[in-house]
Structure 1
Amino acid sequence: MFYVKKRDGRKERVAFDKITARINKLCYGLDLNFVDPVAVAQKVISGVYQGVSTVELDNLAAETAAYMTTKHPDYAILAARIAISNLHKETKKAFSTVIDDLYNYVNSKTKKRASMISETTYSTIMKHSEKLNSAVIYDRDYKYNYFGFKTLERSYLLRIDGKVAERPQHMLMRVAVGIHGEDVDAAIETYNLMSEKYFTHASPTLFNAGTPRPQLSSCFLLTMKDDSIEGIYETLKTCAMISKTAGGIGLNIHNIRSSGSYIAGTNGYSNGIIPMLRVYNNTARYVDQGGNKRPGAFAVYLETWHPDIFDFLDLKKNTGKEEASCELASKYGPYESYQGSPVSQGILQYDMWNVTPTDLWDWNLLKQKIAQHGVRNSLLLAPMPTASTSQILGFNECFEPYTSNIYTRRVLAGEFQVVNPWLLKDLVDLGLWSDQMKNKIISDNGSVQKVPGIPDELKAMYKTTWELSQKVIIDMAADRGAFIDQSQSLNIHIGEPTFAKLTSMHFYGWKKGLKTGMYYLRTKPAADAIKFTVDQLSLREVETAEESENIRNKRASILAIACSIENKEDCVMCSG
């Protein structure tokens, strides 16, 4: 007979029916035509060993459900519910109590006080503890999917002696108070907007708000101070300090001499920028204690987009904090160098791009208010790819297309495949999802374009970024640019980059007016990895039927290559 170790240290005989009942209880609202709580419970029971803890059982149950996500996206919700329920049992409930523990934390090794909450934030929370405690709604934790929650747990939630002390809702309220301070009503408003997933703050803000090191900025642009040992290492120190608090860095090194250049001070010759950049890269990795995750973006609005049902009024209500810059200026005056700026002359960003916005909002009224009061902020918007915060919210990276419709997640239990949840839901609804189809998509590197049986409209909708013209990606970025006053960063995906392709892409982005033509360049590996997870026998059964289609595709590829040779300027960025 197996015994389980309870959270309070007691030993209790393993009750298999209790495991099943707990999992079944967390399946409320899920599609039980596809989600099988008994199947999850059976796999958990098979992993029971003598002295296993209830925490370990919950972790096993969560990872088992996550492993089954390829059967239906609701399994990811079940996995999250199990993991979040486990965290709730392991943490204190009251927000102010958790903050008190974090503030009074004493490191168990050094025996020295190591407060994780700033004096100001702590005082505010203790002063308004009753109001703030009652505003926290812990059920909203269950709105995260499994991988979003695990991202929070791994990198964002504050820990005491290595054990997670915060719940996601605690973190969001800490961040809101860290931003707004004594303006508790504004803090609660921001908390509600974040916890309902209307928007999220960037990773540095989630990491640092309310702490003794409230560095909330995401991105820093630096120039090498001097082409000398002193200049290079002084700049390196600055980069290290930024990386320490999770800031992202863009470094201008145009003033560093090239490889082979004469060095008068040593009578030697320069090794060039590559060895120097390795030092910078390794330093950033070494001091990257906060994770250096990328910033956040709007979420719900992007995911639920549909022009016929989209709630523009709700969007305006929750993003109209751009208008707040004018409102703040009416109270505190405009920013220091406002006079003489384009906005002080009634010129907004869309005016500079010669674009006329829709008449959905009264832009003239806003300009009248700005003429009267000015604005408090010089620059407001700088969207960029949002890897971690998008993953937390369960969405793809901001305005980035999916790179693959199926990808691998690694957890302690091993590796398993995760399918684009929107594609999976559509295929399940059409009765098309099966293990054979999953194998085919994996074999095709996450593409659905050659999968038999999938309707053409779904193939068009679920093109990966490798199957989209990067010229179109840049065009869409330029369309957004008229309403982005700082800049935006976008990733460019070119499977096999050449100097010709990169030159074409950079100049095209420059001609379209983009201030940042590329954030990261993503390429494909020279050879595909061996797909051990694919059922090769099952796959071969359908390959014969596809041979004629492959021949047609090869002919099309030959024509595309010929086309690019004939007219390189037009075709170098085509998706063919």
Structure 2
Amino acid sequence: MQTIQMPNSPATAHGVAAEAARAISGSVLPNYQIIRRNGAVVPFEPNKIAVAMMKAFLAVHGPQGAASASVRETVEQLTQTVVRALMRSRPGGGTFHIEDVQDQVELGLMRGGHHEVARAYVLYRERRAQERAAKAAQQQPAAQPVLHVIDGGERRPLDLERLRALIASAVEGLGPDVQAEPIVAETLRNLYDGVPMEEVHKAAILAARTKIETDPDYTYATARLLLHTIYKEALGEEVTHAQMRERYAEYFPAFIKKGVQAELLNPELLTFDLERLGAALKAERDLQFDYLGLQTLYDRYFLHVRKQRIELPQAFFMRVAMGLALNEIDREARAIEFYEVLSSFDFMSSTPTLFNSGTLRSQLSSCYLTTVPDDLDGIYEAIKENALLSKFAGGLGNDWTRVRALGSHIKGTNGESQGVVPFLKVVNDTAVAVNQGGKRKGAVCCYLETWHLDIEEFLELRKNTGDDRRRTHDMNTANWIPDLFMKRVMEDGEWSLFSPSSVPDLHDRYGRDFETAYLAYEEKAARGEIKPYKKVRAVDLWRKMLTMLFETGHPWITFKDPCNIRSPQQHVGVVHSSNLCTEITLNTSDTEIAVCNLGSVNLAQHLKDGPNGKVLDHDKLKRTITVAMRMLDNVIDINYYAVKKARDSNLRHRPVGLGIMGFQDALYQLRIPYASQAAVEFADQSMEAVCYYAYWASSDLAVERGRYSTYRGSLWDRGILPIDSIDLLAQERGGYVEVDRSRTLDWDALRAKIARDGMRNSNCIAIAPTATISNIVGVDASIEPCFGNLSVKSNLSGEFTVVNSYLVKDLKRLGLWDEVMIMDLKHFDGSLLPIDRVPQDIKELYRTAFEIEPRWLVEAAARRQKWIDQAQSLNIYMAGASGKKLDETYKLAWIRGLKTTYYLRTVGATHAEKSTVRSGALNAVPNASSGTGMAAVAGAVAADPTPATDIKFCALDDPGCEACQ
């Protein structure tokens, strides 16, 4: 193994390296500085990173090898990656120690797969460190310089004891493995003479943050140091956490008044008994936050006036609670009740609700579904509605099936239609242009039914090749697949494609009714009575669907018939699509835009000790869900509606979407591996309980507030509960339904109650991705498996090291948690499977997403789906994707009665152990592979072992979705 040596001819090394450096845009980043080892502070010059990297490549590959264009391009990309990572750690500017920069270079080389170069770089650093140490040993020890800080405009010596006391208070009670001194030492290393006092506090936060990978409890120390900064910003002075017990009560009324004066908060909040609410705030709950959760709230949720935060964590939760209690009779009691479930992390409202509750424009709903008519006025009206809804932070699902296909006759002009694709290009560009009030990208998912004549071109919308005027790179797409097509695939039949202008009624038909009409149209087409028209082999079209899903991540696979046949609202309309994240299944029409209001129960908070370990706490779950359903129902009346059709629909049917998160965390507590039958059983029983208590709570609300207006004739009214509607699906399909029907709760009692009292809400349950709110409460998102036991999670607040605290606790118990284990987890990207000294039962319990066979994800989802009146955002993780594996997985999803699926996330089999946190590769969509058959899927995996689809946890925003969260 080579170490980095300075070449004999400096001009050779510097010439090649300097040329690479010139490719890096910007010679100096003005808001950033570097602290050198001697304490000097100098400007941050990214081109110096390029020089260092090129020297590393020179040492390994020699001048000729390092001079190639590919190496220069690699150095440029790696340098940009390092610079981005550094800047994300300090979004507002700041200082980096030279060692931190070199750490990022080392990490960048490793993540980029340049292991030989990385090792040479490590050895070079070690040799230089030894040289410095030897030189220092020969010199007389110098007197330690006195550090000065700038505080309140005055220059004064740093009060080191005060700094030590602050850090000591941050680690208090976190156990013997979380120590103050390492944080103090790292903080001092990153200070320089004349540093502003706020930079000292920021340095302490960053110092604690670097220790998280050594022990996950350092995340709480980091959060507490951040809390200290937040308290000072909002209160104007330094306050200890112990003092906050009294300060919260006096601060809260002043905060509400300041928010109203700044025209941020609804003046109606001033009519609450603010002293009573302030006294109800529980300061100790500030200590529940981990660093990622608190930083996310600080950056993106807390109210501010001219960039200065005025909102503290418990005031934030109470402000949201007050906004949801505006129409209650005893508003203070209800606000405190809502505050309790939010601030305890038992339940969390979706991001739009957290953003806007209690504000002047209370847009609290998460997602909107529309259907687009087949006329120019209607099409552009739909695009306008997209823009208005997107402006106020809603995620969109559009049904485009009615728009006539390419080549169809246009009666008004006697011309031919250009089909649906050009309009989708406009939708794509509208989502980019109307960027949700400047907060984040607009987001839309467009759905098309499988019999549409433009379906083959629709499948290619996200490809990176072809005519860019017929590509939509910023928009999501989804297949809306009728059961008849799946039957033709299973039976190797042919499939007919039509323009909806020739078969207009197919759009509103489903089940046997659709099948009868479709067969009749096929007969007419065979007689030449319908044009345009095309026949394809169903299996070939299915293969192309899966190939495009693998290559581009789109269109997602969703199933029309189970969404409609099992819909409680089939008596008043048709479900024409799902939403942006595929968990909402509500009717749409020309007069109604479907709206859904979301929030999620933290399943990990609803376990208790049983005789043989943890068990589900039914009493607590029922209490939480009863309060949560009331909160969600209140959203409907308080919500701001940008479009009248959305308001009319929401008030008429009153649908809500209660979901879950922390499913993986609950499995850890139960000691159940995700890839097991026991996990499938827990998915079944936990979802049964959530749905049972939610439906019961909605029926209770109907007694208090009245039934929703279209209740009469619904499945609820007919005594058909979601578990019963599986029989309807089996009858309509005539087979192909294999779903477990077992139950544990008294559903007859619930059925009798609904028959007596009715329902307040047409729909109650939907499992959203929860990417952002799960970060806030510190659990794994939604129903997702763990993505990596030691990983870097990115969102709009930056990059965060996330360590599986359950795993660390187990490894400590076994005496296996040490520096070598940390390095092994880094090397194997959070996977335990290649680490020999870890016991097999621990490996099984802590398998990561790509180490779980996708059938386990489908089986668990099927058990949930039988109870749910809407759907769930189900990501499919697949290592070693092949045509056969994709085919089997998505057919199993259909046979198990799933309504929808979401992203397909793939990684090559040989790289499954090295894939979970590879920065960049996981967020890139590669060029589409050639070929349209299933062989192309397998070939693409073999040719490119990096992930083939973008690894994002939801669709709204890269990398942190908020539409449904």
What range describes the TM-score normalised by the shorter chain of this pair? 0.7 to 0.9
The alignment partner of 1:344 has SS state of coil
Equivalent residue, structure 1, for 2:726? 353
Aligned residues, how many?
516
Over 3 Å counting, the alpha-carbon distance change for 1:220 and 1:507 in structure 2 is farther
Equivalent residue, structure 1, for 2:834? 450
Equivalent residue, structure 1, for 2:361? 213
CA distance in 2, matches of 1:168, 1:291: 26
Equivalent residue, structure 1, for 2:625? 319
CA distance in 2, matches of 1:502, 1:259: 30
Q: Tell me if structure 1 keeps the 8 A contact 2:213–2:801.
A: yes
Equivalent residue letter for 2:878: I
Q: Tell me if structure 2 keeps the 8 A contact 1:198–1:299.
A: yes
Q: CA deviation at 1:54?
A: 3.2
Task: Write the deviation string for residues 21-77 of structure 1: whole angstroms up to 9, x where unpaired.
Answer: 211122111122x22211101111122234433332222211211111111111001
Task: Write the deviation string for residues 373-405 of structure 1: whole angstroms up to 9, x where unpaired.
Answer: 211111111112211000111111021101222
- The within-5 A match list for 1:282-431 is 282-283=432-433, 285=435, 287=437, 289=439, 296-299=599-602, 301=604, 304=607, 308-310=613-615, 311-320=617-626, 321=629, 322=694, 323-353=696-726, 355-359=741-745, 362-409=746-793, 417-431=801-815
Equivalent residue, structure 1, for 2:339? 191
Over 3 Å counting, the alpha-carbon distance change for 1:235 and 1:496 in structure 2 is farther
The alignment partner of 1:142 has SS state of helix
Q: Which moved more, 1:40-49 or 1:255-264?
A: 255-264
Residue among 135, 152, 156 paired with 2:280: 135
Over 3 Å counting, the alpha-carbon distance change for 1:45 and 1:369 in structure 2 is same
Equivalent residue, structure 2, for 1:110? none
Q: Tell me if structure 2 keeps the 8 A contact 1:202–1:389.
A: yes
Equivalent residue, structure 2, for 1:88? 231
Q: Which moved more, 1:369-378 or 1:410-419?
A: 410-419
Task: Write the deviation string for residues 73-125 of structure 1: whole angstroms up to 9, x where unpaired.
Answer: 110010011101221122144222112111111xxxxxxxxx111233x2333
CA distance in 2, matches of 1:392, 1:152: 7
CA distance in 1, matches of 2:796, 2:203: 10
Unaligned residue ranges in structure 1 (runs of 5+): 106-114, 534-560, 562-576
Q: Tell me if structure 1 keeps the 8 A contact 2:708–2:761.
A: yes
For the pair 1:243 / 2:616, whether they are aligned, the reply is no
For the pair 1:23 / 2:167, whether they are aligned, the reply is yes
Over 3 Å counting, the alpha-carbon distance change for 1:55 and 1:147 in structure 2 is same
Q: Which moved more, 1:280-289 or 1:370-379?
A: 280-289
Q: CA deviation at 1:204?
A: 0.9
CA distance in 2, matches of 1:425, 1:237: 53
CA distance in 2, matches of 1:285, 1:436: 46
Equivalent residue, structure 1, for 2:401? 254
- The within-5 A match list for 1:161-176 is 161-176=306-321
CA distance in 2, matches of 1:270, 1:133: 59
CA distance in 1, matches of 2:707, 2:388: 30
Q: CA deviation at 1:207?
A: 0.7
Q: Aligned-pair RMSD on alpha carbons?
A: 3.2
CA distance in 2, matches of 1:15, 1:375: 63
Residue among 438, 447, 459 paired with 2:822: 438
Q: CA deviation at 1:479?
A: 0.5
Over 3 Å counting, the alpha-carbon distance change for 1:132 and 1:281 in structure 2 is same
Q: CA deviation at 1:460?
A: 0.5
The alignment partner of 1:200 has SS state of strand
Equivalent residue letter for 1:134: A
Task: Write the deviation string for residues 258-282 of structure 1: whole angstroms up to 9, x where unpaired.
Answer: 6788886887856936744642542
CA distance in 1, matches of 2:300, 2:335: 23
Equivalent residue, structure 1, for 2:293? 148
Q: CA deviation at 1:144?
A: 0.5
For the pair 1:476 / 2:623, whether they are aligned, the reply is no
Q: Tell me if structure 1 keeps the 8 A contact 2:295–2:797.
A: no
Equivalent residue, structure 1, for 2:381? 234
Q: Tell me if structure 1 keeps the 8 A contact 2:292–2:800.
A: no
Q: Tell me if structure 1 keeps the 8 A contact 2:320–2:353.
A: yes
Over 3 Å counting, the alpha-carbon distance change for 1:461 and 1:262 in structure 2 is farther
CA distance in 1, matches of 2:158, 2:908: 48
Equivalent residue letter for 1:180: A
- The within-5 A match list for 1:64-79 is 64-79=207-222
CA distance in 2, matches of 1:447, 1:84: 32
Equivalent residue, structure 1, for 2:906? 523
Q: Tell me if structure 2 keeps the 8 A contact 1:67–1:416.
A: no
Over 3 Å counting, the alpha-carbon distance change for 1:149 and 1:200 in structure 2 is same
Q: CA deviation at 1:446?
A: 2.4
> Which of 1 and 2 has higher RCO (CA within 8 Å, sep 6+)?
2
Q: CA deviation at 1:9?
A: 4.9
- The TM-score normalised by the length of structure 1 is 0.81
The alignment partner of 2:181 has SS state of helix
The alignment partner of 2:717 has SS state of helix
Over 3 Å counting, the alpha-carbon distance change for 1:298 and 1:286 in structure 2 is closer
CA distance in 2, matches of 1:237, 1:85: 45
Q: Tell me if structure 2 keeps the 8 A contact 1:225–1:234.
A: no
The alignment partner of 1:369 has SS state of helix
Unaligned residue ranges in structure 2 (runs of 5+): 1-145, 236-247, 444-580, 582-597, 630-693, 728-740, 920-937, 939-965
Q: Tell me if structure 2 keeps the 8 A contact 1:403–1:464.
A: yes
Q: CA deviation at 1:420?
A: 2.2
Task: Write the deviation string for residues 175-211 of structure 1: whole angstroms up to 9, x where unpaired.
Answer: 1111111422111011011111111111111011111
Equivalent residue, structure 2, for 1:59? 202
CA distance in 2, matches of 1:529, 1:328: 47
Q: Which moved more, 1:468-477 or 1:366-375?
A: 366-375
CA distance in 1, matches of 2:880, 2:389: 33
Equivalent residue letter for 1:133: G
Equivalent residue, structure 2, for 1:570? none
Equivalent residue letter for 2:433: T
Q: Tell me if structure 2 keeps the 8 A contact 1:158–1:165.
A: yes
Equivalent residue letter for 1:39: P
Question: Percent identity, aligned pairs only?
Answer: 32
Q: CA deviation at 1:454?
A: 0.8
CA distance in 2, matches of 1:414, 1:154: 10
